[in-house]
Structure 1
Amino acid sequence: MNAPDSTSERDIQLIREVADRVMTGVPTQVEPFPATPTEWATTYRIHVAGSAPDGVARVLNPRLSAPESIRAEFELARELGTAGIGPAILYADHHTGLAVMEHAPGGHLTEPATARQAEWTADLLKRLHGLPNTGRPRLQDFKVSESLAAVRQRIDAHPSLDIYAEAIGRYAETGRFLKETTPVEKLCHNDLNPTNILFGESRSWLIDFDHMGLGDPFFDLATVILSLRLRPDTEDHFLRHYFRCPPTAAESRRLESTKSIVLLRYALMTLALLPLSFDFAKTAVSEKELSPPFVFRRDENESHETAVYRLSRAFLVNGLNW
């Protein structure tokens, strides 16, 4: 969470010291971006004097990321920055968990993506999935495994979460079916929620690579369709642009099954972010109170934890009903 405290003050001091060395302009202000559901990392905007471009700093939480995972993420970020898939990396140190990068002149979408924006994203994914496979990590496997263990712990402690046991079962069952027919694994992003895709006037960028690794490219495709809320005609345009032809009947069936996996995985991983002490029974959420999946909204006077729980329930309801 991007809340000001002694930790963020130390982060800002370190960012200022590094930015003074690696950026072309003089840093004038470092401020956190708005809070997101996860605590894996905190992101800051580095404002620079004059006409020099601004920067962005990403600070990983050492309690939630192993050193080898941080190193792998930063290496991938450098590679994708060089390839033009993500912002260029100016500085990265896995010991401190700090990366400083160029500021991509774009922002996150708050409305469904247009056909043009979907096309840009299809181009990025085609390039990402076409990168060499050899020696790639599987950063997502550890995070998913850790999240499932945390969810089981919460189910055991809170009877009101029994429906999440059904979600785990459905997730495993569909996952086994898809694994039997997995296409050739590709280097995948594996976490293309709306905050991890930036859109400018003529292109898009992918950011935040802490879930990257070899995986099923259909997971990336399904996540983009859901997270960018593509309308049916835009989804068709997106897929035609990615495959360079209409998807086959088998590809379309696989994609629909993968959408269920995406929603259920996010439901479980979002629930795992909440502390075991959270009062789930008291924070009962009706379906009418739910935002669409991937829309993180914190209502007035609502705690961050309650907003995260509502988001998890939105993923859960849609995943089980898919």
Structure 2
Amino acid sequence: MSDRMDIRGAIGDGAARMSLPDLPQPEETQAILTGALRELEGIDTRLETWTADDHFTQFGKRLVVRYDLEARLAAAPNVRRYHWLGKFYDRDEDARRVASVLRELASFDGHAQSGLAFPSVLAYHAPRRLLLLTYESGESMTTAMAQDTEAILAAIGRALATLHSLPIAPTRILSPDAVLEDLRPRVRDLCDRFPSEAESLGSAFAALERDMPFLPSAPAFVHGDFGPANLLWRKGHVVVLDFDKCALGDPAADLGNLFAQLFRTTIKRPEILRDFASARATVLESYSRWSPADSRLDSRVAWYERATLLRKIHGLLFSKSRDQHPEAVRQRQAEAVQLMRMG
């Protein structure tokens, strides 16, 4: 039996009534999708059929649904197909913040020429805190890296430099102090879990406190969770997904997050990425080529890299949103221990 959970709806066809936790019932979903379609295409647009799949991705902590629609436009002879992504938010202000950022991103010219792409906002349904976006297709960035590592990494560096250059100012601030305060209880958890590693973990955190960089006087727009899991490769473009953690901050934070995840890839999938030092250098060289000169960037990147690695180790061991099958848990524990001893 497939593990895909599917809700189907069609006007007048006796649609299946399969309910999922936290998802609107089919009648409400149909009304939401119809309203969004008519805003986009006109009041005479008719939704013919739709499906909803909330198991298409293993990533992310909030409810994300893919919607596939078939609709008939006024005076159009053929049915038109649409592929949308719906994200349900806990807080209205978070959904509106992300929608505002994505609309600003869409307003800037030139990002496509620099190899950067991202979802577009279609509609926001406030009662359900449901943000509807274009569904972005593409190849997994990890798979793409295995085929043409250097070119892909260089493209990622340029795309990130472009993102950081955009004059977008989210209300959220990502500061080094906030990074440390988020990390402090996580390190305590790790010390409790691995008493034999408590001394080295404590030393690592103390070094982060000692070496903490200042937030740049002119912080940049940062993604907040920039890494392969939130990237796709599509015909020479880097598609950046999931702007939920975007903020004003140090560009080094995105680079450090990326490098911590690439380091994990060399441990978990060495057949895809073997030489971490070379990969890191390729991204940094490309990023620096398309960014203003910053003589202290590398040291700040290294700081965020170390902090991110500790946070990722904690996530591997304690996250409840990951696969809880015993074998999956065992594999994550083994990876966490390996990263802890190598980091």
Which stretches in structure 1 are left out of the alignment for 5+ residues?
276-295
| Equivalent residue letter for 1:55 | W
Q: Does 1:174 align with 2:208?
A: yes
| Equivalent residue letter for 2:320 | L
Q: Does 1:192 align with 2:226?
A: yes
Q: Does 1:321 align with 2:326?
A: no
Conserved? CA contact 2:54–2:65, under 8 Å: yes
Q: What SS does structure 2 have at the residue aligned with 1:256? A: helix
Greater relative contact order (Cα < 8 A, sep 6+): 1
CA distance in 1, matches of 2:337, 2:176: 20
Q: Does 1:45 align with 2:66?
A: yes
Q: Does 1:260 align with 2:306?
A: yes
Please report how far the alpha carbon of residue 31 of structure 1 lies from its aligned counterpart in structure 2 after TM superposition: 0.7
Correspondence for 1:71: 96
Q: Does 1:97 align with 2:143?
A: no
* Partner deviation per Cα, 1:75-123 (whole Å, 9 max, x = no partner): 2233234446421110124552211111222142333623332233223
* Partner deviation per Cα, 1:273-318 (whole Å, 9 max, x = no partner): 339xxxxxxxxxxxxxxxxxxxx8x5xxxx3587367547635642
Q: What SS does structure 2 have at the residue aligned with 1:54? A: strand
CA distance in 2, matches of 1:36, 1:133: 29
Q: Does 1:223 align with 2:248?
A: no
Tell me which of 21, 28, 33 is aligned to 2:35: 21
Tell me which of 163, 178, 188 is aligned to 1:128: 163
CA gap of 1:167–1:99, structure 2 versus 1, over 3 A, is farther
CA distance in 2, matches of 1:134, 1:68: 15
CA distance in 1, matches of 2:21, 2:185: 25
CA distance in 2, matches of 1:144, 1:308: 26
Correspondence for 1:202: 236
User: Structure 1 residues 241-250 or 220-229, which shifts more?
Assistant: 241-250
Q: Does 1:108 align with 2:135?
A: no
* Partner deviation per Cα, 1:237-284 (whole Å, 9 max, x = no partner): 322221117988854444334322221122234545339xxxxxxxxx
Tell me which of 39, 55, 63 is aligned to 2:84: 55
CA gap of 1:315–1:154, structure 2 versus 1, over 3 A, is closer
CA distance in 2, matches of 1:112, 1:38: 21
Q: What is the TM-score normalised by the length of structure 1?
A: 0.70
CA distance in 2, matches of 1:166, 1:52: 55
Tell me which of 13, 17, 21 is aligned to 1:7: 21
- Percent identity for Structure 1 against Structure 2: 17
CA gap of 1:105–1:145, structure 2 versus 1, over 3 A, is same
CA distance in 2, matches of 1:313, 1:319: 10
Tell me which of 225, 228, 240 is aligned to 2:285: 240
CA gap of 1:205–1:12, structure 2 versus 1, over 3 A, is farther
Higher strand proportion (structure 1 or 2) = 2
| Equivalent residue letter for 1:120 | A
CA gap of 1:112–1:26, structure 2 versus 1, over 3 A, is same
Cα RMSD over matched residues? 4.1
Conserved? CA contact 2:170–2:221, under 8 Å: no
Q: What is the TM-score normalised by the length of structure 2?
A: 0.66
Conserved? CA contact 1:139–1:210, under 8 Å: no
CA gap of 1:257–1:104, structure 2 versus 1, over 3 A, is same
User: Structure 1 residues 204-213 or 129-138, which shifts more?
Assistant: 129-138
Q: What SS does structure 1 have at the residue aligned with 2:102? A: helix
CA distance in 1, matches of 2:165, 2:241: 17
CA distance in 2, matches of 1:119, 1:14: 45
CA gap of 1:46–1:38, structure 2 versus 1, over 3 A, is closer
CA distance in 1, matches of 2:96, 2:180: 20
